Amino acid sequence: MEPATSSPTGRGARRGGSVTSHDVARLAGLSQSTVSRALRNDPRVSEATRLRVQAAAGELGYVPNVTARNLVLRETRMVGMVVTDMRNLYYPNLIAPFHEELAAHGYRMVLFTEQVAGEQAPLLLQSLVDRGVDGAVLVTPTLDSPLPGELARQKLPFVYLTREAEGVAADAVVIDDALGASLVAAEIVRLGHRRIGAIFGPTNTSTGVHRERGFRAGLRAAGIELPDEVVRRGEYVDATGFSAMQELMALDSPPTVVACCSDLVAVGVVNAARALGLRVPEDVSVTGWDDLPLAAWETFRLTTVHVPMNDMAHAAARLLVERIEASIAPPPRRVLFEPRLVPRATLAPPSPAGDGSAPPARPRRPSRGR
């Protein structure tokens, strides 16, 4: 039962006590759950029903007291989203759908961007507790992040979204990184590339580890190994791609294709190729990962791996709300989404000079810095 601060003043007010949402429901001829959703502007409630509830609440003089309700139920209906690297444009694409799904369930979102590594994890945990969140979604944990363990000890519900940590089981919504990377490898081989370069993500992230593993497995299935000299690793930002591309193209036998761990890294690679006087894909092919909106721009037309960010964010929000509201906590659940390859213009067969018989011409040095 929801407490109220107002006194019953309307014609239908009951005597001798404060008005509740149950009174509003009876007067409106609706269920109490429908009234609660209408009062918090749940988008699933029609405008006609919302007006009907508002009219009944006005007649009874009912004003919901959110603070009192939270004290009684020991909840704030706020959820924290923890993102540690806002430079990656992938993560802002998760915020809107996550917020949308939470709002449909009557929750609000608070964004936390603090670093969670090492000794800073307790500070972030305290920040989450101080804000009184009912749960959290972890978007960018490293494999060894101490935060999941701290949240588990505090019995604060949380969900992994896109990345997972090691040693702490929890609800997770992730993409099949190994499968997506193997699809890229198979397409690169099918087109005839044999000198293949790769820029993988950090080795302390589940995405970095699984994508590298899947890509190597895909090449190995075709009898191709990936030498260390054509492999680079780094953060999921364009600067990683730009510097790595310069190094790869300076090799005596530069690769004819560079597979990247993210679209932003691929954008850096394309920029570096143009600075070196190379054409994409005529001189060197490039692939990305994520299928960010910019990947489809005419400027890039990037061949990439599609990640259903919208669906994943909605799924994570639903899992978190279910866990917060469950009377008996369910075992950890893992929702695995399937990636798909999106062919565009940056991946093509190698040029005759780069078909494996002879190295392509060495590119010119860039005339100016990035």
pLDDT confidence tier of residue 65, bands split at 50, 70 and 90: low
Residues 301 and 315 in one domain: no
80 and 39 within one domain = no
Does residue 315 contact residue 157 with C-beta atoms inside 8 Å?
A: no
Structural domain of 297 = 177-306+343-354
Pick from 353, 343, 184, 226: which is nearest to 278 by CA?
A: 353
Mean pLDDT of the chain: 85
pLDDT of residue 354: 53
228 shares a domain with 272: yes
Q: Is residue 171, in this structure, part of any structural domain at all?
A: yes
- Is residue 5, in this structure, part of any structural domain at all? no
Give dist(CA 29, CA 2) in Å, integer. 18
Please state the pTM of the whole predicted model: 0.75
DSSP letter at 244 equals H
- Per DSSP, 139 falls in state S
Q: Which amino acid is at 267?
A: V
Residues 189 and 278 in one domain: yes
Q: Which helix (H) or strand (E) holds 25?
A: helix 21-28
What pLDDT was estimated at residue 362? 52
Same domain membership, residue 104 and residue 150: yes
Looking at the chain, the number of H-run helices and the number of E-run strands are 12, 12
- Closest listed residue to residue 356, CA positions, set 253, 286, 225, 280: 253
Q: Which one-letter amino acid corresponds to residue 367?
A: S
Q: Considering its fold, how many domains does the chain have in total?
A: 3
> Domain check: are 312 and 171 in the same one?
yes
- Contacts of 114-118 with CB under 8 Å at 24 or more apart are 114/82, 114/84, 115/84, 116/82, 116/84, 116/140, 116/141, 116/142, 116/145, 116/146, 116/147, 117/142, 117/145, 118/146
pLDDT in tens, 123-147: 666 667 666 789 999 998 999 988 8
Domain assignment of residue 9, yes or no? no
Instruction: Say how many residues make up the chain.
Output: 370
- Tell me: do 266 and 185 sit in the same domain: yes
Residues 264 and 129 in one domain: no
Four-residue CA torsion sign, 133, 138, 139, 140: positive
Place of tokens 């924290």: 80
Contacts 24+ apart (CB under 8 A), 5-8: 5/63, 5/65, 5/68, 6/61, 6/62, 6/63, 7/61, 8/60, 8/61
Tokens (6 digits) for 53: 């509830």
Q: Between 112 and 86, where is the model more confident? A: 112
Supply the CATH number for residue 139's domain: 3.40.50.2300
Same domain, 189 and 294: yes
CATH code at 61?
Answer: 1.10.260.40
pLDDT digit string (tens) for 229-287? 999 999 999 999 999 999 999 999 999 999 999 999 999 999 999 999 999 999 999 99
**Does 134 map to a domain?**
yes
